[in-house]
């Protein structure tokens, strides 16, 4: 059952894909899909959020910093009595996350890891004070994570991927808005990760999403979809 909207954060899911629906190529290395203008728009979106969530696969593969790049936006957050960077959140069943990763090392924001009970003791000792490791039954349920984040004061959450995490949150029906940025090129590889993998999604052919806006950032087209009209 989905938590009432007032007991979980507003969830925005953001992804960049190629024209053939890939969110990366098959190399396992980071693929740049966005234009500089789109990166800046995502930075602005991050600056509006209390927390950013990515899967452990993205942390291991891309080593993202997940901090606000613009000093002006960081100052604006300070003036609103917000921390300069959003809280960083991840999920892992294996606990295979290294303390040297930029997720843990960059920025002063709190880092939260939802980890399987079995892997939690080792991960806690590896990360020490770098992160709060929360032991959960795995596979972790998005509803549980959202309720826990809400209890920690998170009111707006940006889910940035990767494919497994997008599939998890979208199939659970807990996403309020999708920001989909489309790059003007093909990846063309069968083994490349897609926007989502196979699952049952609440928004299938009989329940179409609503378009909120269509924007252009450099050569990227950005479509905003509302999944729960009225909740944005």
Task: Give least dist CB 30 to ligand NAP, A.
Answer: 5
**What are all long-range contacts of 114-123, with beta carbons under 8 Å and residues at least 24 apart?**
114/89, 114/90, 114/140, 114/145, 114/148, 115/91, 116/92, 116/140, 119/92, 119/93, 119/94, 119/95, 120/95, 122/95, 123/92, 123/95, 123/97
Partner residues linked to 158 by β-bridges:
12, 52
Task: Give least dist CB 209 to ligand NAP, A.
Answer: 18
> Which residue's CB is nearer to ligand NAP, number 81 or number 214?
214
The terminus-to-terminus CA distance of the chain in angstroms comes to 21
Could you give the CA distance from residue 90 to residue 162 in angstroms, rounded to a whole number? 11
Task: Give least dist CB 81 to ligand NAP, A.
Answer: 30
> Which residue's CB is nearer to ligand NAP, number 81 or number 103?
103
Task: Give least dist CB 96 to ligand NAP, A.
Answer: 5
Centre a 10 Å sphere on the Cβ of residue 169 and count the other Cβ atoms it contains. 21
Partner residues linked to 53 by β-bridges:
89, 159
> Which residue's CB is nearer to ligand NAP, number 138 or number 210?
138
Task: Give least dist CB 38 to ligand NAP, A.
Answer: 10
> Which residue's CB is nearer to ligand NAP, number 19 or number 229?
19
> Which residue's CB is nearer to ligand NAP, number 76 or number 215?
215
Could you give the CA distance from residue 103 to residue 65 in angstroms, rounded to a whole number? 5
Check if the beta carbon of residue 169 is closer than 8 Å to that of residue 195. no
Q: Which residues bind ligand NAP (CB under 6 A)?
A: 15-16, 23-24, 30, 33, 54-58, 61-62, 91-94, 96, 138-140, 160-165, 168, 193
Task: Give least dist CB 33 to ligand NAP, A.
Answer: 5
> Which residue's CB is nearer to ligand NAP, number 109 or number 182?
182
């Amino acid at each position: 059952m989905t938590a009432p909207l007032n007991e979980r954060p507003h969830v925005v899911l953001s992804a960049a894909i190629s024209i053939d629906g890939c969110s990366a190529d098959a190399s396992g290395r980071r693929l740049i899909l966005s234009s500089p203008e789109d990166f800046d728009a995502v930075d602005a979106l991050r600056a509006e959020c209390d927390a950013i969530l990515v899967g452990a696969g993205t942390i291991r593969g891309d080593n993202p910093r997940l901090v606000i790049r613009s000093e002006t936006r960081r100052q604006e957050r300070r003036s609103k009595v917000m921390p300069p960077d959003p809280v960083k959140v991840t999920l892992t069943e294996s606990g295979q996350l290294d303390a040297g990763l930029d997720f843990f090392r960059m920025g002063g924001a709190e880092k939260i890891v939802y980890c399987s009970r079995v892997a939690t003791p080792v991960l806690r000792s590896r990360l020490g004070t770098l992160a709060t490791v929360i032991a959960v039954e795995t596979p972790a349920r998005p509803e549980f994570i959202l309720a826990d984040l809400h209890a920690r004061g998170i009111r707006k959450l940006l889910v940035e991927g990767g494919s497994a995490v997008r599939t998890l949150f979208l199939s659970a029906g807990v996403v309020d808005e999708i920001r989909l940025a489309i790059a003007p090129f093909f990846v063309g590889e069968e083994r490349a990760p897609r926007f989502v993998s196979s699952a049952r999604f609440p928004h299938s052919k009989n329940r179409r999403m609503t378009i909120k806006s269509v924007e252009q950032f450099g050569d990227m087209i950005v479509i905003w979809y509302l999944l729960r009209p009225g909740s944005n």
